[in-house]
């Protein structure tokens, strides 16, 4: 056996092995690209509504209205709502803020303000009607 032929045989075997490995890797990459293409969507193909779900808007310099209720601050960032709340009498505004911002029941509010629970319920519902009228008139 000629040593030169043996070396060529080894080179051919190694060459064939390298080609098989590269061909297999190429097939793997094509399959991966196909799977990725089936699952992924480009940003340009998304609707504005879908893009909005992916984004978060930071609000650093917005106007916040602060109401002091029970020694705690209630921040209202909606200017229309804050103006409507400011137009209400202070005692009625407190009832609405305690109910909706502190999640207090009518009985808890009545105990805090030393009044009957039914009075709190009446004032809350009538104040909400008044708030609705104020906000509708601003539009």
pTM: 0.55
Q: pLDDT tens digits, residue range 8-38?
A: 889 999 999 999 999 999 999 999 999 988 8
Distance CA 109, CA 103 (A): 10
Widest Cα–Cα separation across the chain: 113
| Residues 95, 124 contacting (CB under 8 angstroms) | yes
Length of the chain: 139
What average pLDDT score do residues 88-102 get? 90
* Residue 97: how many other CB atoms lie within 10 Å: 21
Cβ contact 95:123 at 8 Å: yes
pLDDT surpasses 60 at 56:
yes
Q: What are the tens digits of pLDDT across the range 42-53?
A: 888 888 888 888
């Amino acid at each position: 056996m000629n040593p030169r032929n043996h070396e060529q045989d080894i080179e051919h075997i190694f060459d064939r092995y390298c080609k098989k490995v590269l061909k297999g890797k190429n097939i793997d990459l094509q399959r991966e690209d196909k799977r990725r293409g089936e699952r992924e969507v480009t940003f340009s193909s998304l609707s504005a509504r879908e893009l909005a779900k992916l984004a978060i808007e930071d609000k650093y310099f917005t106007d916040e209205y602060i109401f002091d209720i029970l020694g705690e601050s209630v921040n209202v960032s909606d200017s229309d709502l804050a103006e409507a709340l400011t137009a209400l009498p202070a005692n009625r505004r407190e009832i609405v803020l305690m109910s909706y911002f502190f999640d207090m029941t009518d009985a808890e509010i009545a105990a805090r303000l030393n009044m009957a629970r039914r009075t709190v319920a009446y004032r809350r519902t009538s104040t909400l009607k008044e708030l609705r009228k104020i906000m509708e008139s601003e539009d």
